[in-house]
Amino acid sequence: MIIGLPLQRYYFSIILAMTSLSVNINKIATIRNSRGGNVPNVVEAAINIEKYGAQGITVHPRPDGRHIKYQDVYDLKKVLTTEFNIEGNPTDSFIKLVSEVVPTQVTLVPDAHDAITSNAGWDTVAHLSFLTSVVKEFKKQGIRVSIFVDPIEKMVEYAAVAGADRIELYTEPYASNYLDNRTDAIASYINAANMAVKVGLDINAGHDLNLQNLKYFAQNIPQLKEVSIGHALISDALYFGLEKTVHLYLDCLK
């Protein structure tokens, strides 16, 4: 028993260190909304995604309700058993929604109301006062707060000044440059991650991560706590099926 104990601790530490997969289900809602009704059912899909092994569910409700609707957020809260992450621009209506639902985590994203998808992180220096106020409000309710930032050390540093618990690194530039030169593509993210550790922030990441580029990213950012992936994962599920696709993404994070 004593001989086996260090090995048990070793494997336990590996399990603890594994990056969590939070599946963004917005695209499932987009398909549903294209025909009206409730097919596919986003709540049922989320329950299945949890059952298949994902450690969290992410939603990004926008004011126009073009994919996840506010009612979906309330419905999901009742049934989810893993981490619930709500992303969005902290407008008054978004703050009210998050305050009523009280998810595990809120991710603050500076997307315009008419943005197709998020395409930039916060300027945490210029918006420091606003972000500090919003972060304080959510943390009073026991909600973990993550701020969506570009891989720029100063933006990371000021996310900590604002009082955030985590940052989410915006990974579209990494994904776009990965095939040309993955070493160059990851460089700024390594620097940003090192800054996050220095100022006491945990690290999430998301946007355009997929089965091609996810493993390399996770290997080079060993501090990575969580990835939020939606578009690529749901698209891959059209070919592989949802259960197998979740397992494939989890394998990239081992």
**Using an 8 Å Cβ cutoff, are 155 and 123 in contact?**
yes
Place of tokens 């709540």: 43
Residue 233: name the closest of 30, 23, 41 by CA: 23
Catalytic residue (one of 87, 157, 168, 226): 87
Catalytic residue (one of 60, 157, 168, 226): 60
Amino acid at 36: G
Place of tokens 């000021």: 158
Catalytic residue (one of 83, 157, 207, 226): 207
Distances in Å between the Cα of 229 and the Cα atoms of 17, 35, 232 are: 19, 24, 7
Instruction: Please indicate whether residue 231 is annotated as part of the active site.
Output: no
Instruction: Please indicate whether residue 67 is annotated as part of the active site.
Output: no
Peptide bond into 40 cis (omega under 30): yes
Distances in Å between the Cα of 74 and the Cα atoms of 61, 68, 111 are: 11, 11, 22
Q: Which residues are catalytic?
A: 60, 87, 207
